[in-house]
Structure 1
Amino acid sequence: MQPATSDCHGHGVARASGQGVSCVTNPCQHTFNNWGVSAACLRSVFAPTGKTESGESIMLQWLNEVLRSGIGAAVAFVVGWALAELRNWYRIRQMRKRLEQLAGERSAAEAVFIISNREDIRPSVQRYLEQQQKQHLAIFQVHRPELFSDDMEEWHKFLDSVRKEVQQLRQYGPTRVLLFTNVPVAMGISLGALLDNGPEVVIHHYFNGMYRPVARLAQETIKP
């Protein structure tokens, strides 16, 4: 049976231990670390003993512990979030710089590839190049004046011609190819397969009498 608090003669709260009974002058000192308040602690704070100043001090100490822990957790969260955002911003910035560097390197060695069917689009392409001040670029071209029929052999022969021109183009060694074409959609898909695993390809489309770049095929854009 635990001794009563009167064993300490009003100078604390009696606490039983293996060595007998000891008096604890601050009954709250064993509760702060556990985030709990014992009954003795509450009595020492709110009991009408005339020691209001001591009770207020204990309560303020407890509140300070709570606030200190809460503020520390909030600061740690904000700092962690800020560091994560900073890392993401840095990675995006480095990626953009790399893409700009690649764009500059590739623009230094460009070539033009024209693949046309029925209408020869070379004059329109040359006008576009003059407007872009790129009329000095080397031009490679494959043209078929006849329409394609349902004979698969015609399609294969045209693709063979394109494949040979692609080999000549790659021997020239450009880092970027400006592609202009007006072939049927099915042929365009086959051309994409032929031009894969090579230099960057900028695809141009004909809008209202003028060609415009609409897409580009490069390793960093078609592969994750």
Structure 2
Amino acid sequence: MKNLEDIPSSGGATGCSVPRWCWEHDKGTNGSSTGSSKLSGDLRQFDVVWKYYGGERFHVYLGPGHKDGKSTSFTLDTWVYFNKLADVNNIELDLNQVTLSGNTVIYGMQCNFPKGMWQYVTNHSGHPHWNDSNVACSRKVWKPGVWHHVILKYHRDSAGNVTYDSVSFDTKVSKFVGASGPSVFGLGWEIGRQVVNFQIGGNKTFSGATAYLSHLTVTGQ
């Protein structure tokens, strides 16, 4: 599905059972956060304010016309822009897919600036766990005031074990080594449901940032 940024906004954490951009504070992060999102011309704008490591999660349901419980290989492709990054700790891009078994596979990836690397999600005792990868990600290359092209590739097996294949950042392709593990969860969603998450996590200060997404596309096969 192409141009997910064009899907309308919900206005917050309600109305998310239909294709709408929704958002709320990620209770799995410390501190607090508030956010909002809207269309700005052809772009999807995200405004976030956080306090003490708060993270704001934005997510969009692709809708009943785009259910896919069969695909085992995915590409998430988008352009990303931040007005500032000095106080941003994490930039997260996820895809959730409910497979034919009824379980949800989370393909989760984030750029962790304090650690200077990409991280990936696996299931650890029933909870999403961030694992360090071999691929660097830092403010030296992810700069504010510049559009960056990010392409994430991953695949799964029938049991919900995910292998994170590669990340392309501004045309530079980096392959992950050993980035795999179980990433299946029982969330109770309907089969075929697909949800994309975009999350911004802050540092310990009281600060904020504005981000934009363009040409956000998810392709499964």
User: TM-score, length-normalised on structure 2?
Assistant: 0.26
Higher strand share: 2
Rg larger in structure: 1
User: TM-score, length-normalised on structure 1?
Assistant: 0.26
Higher helix share: 1
Q: Which has the higher contact order (CA 8 A, sep 6+)?
A: 2
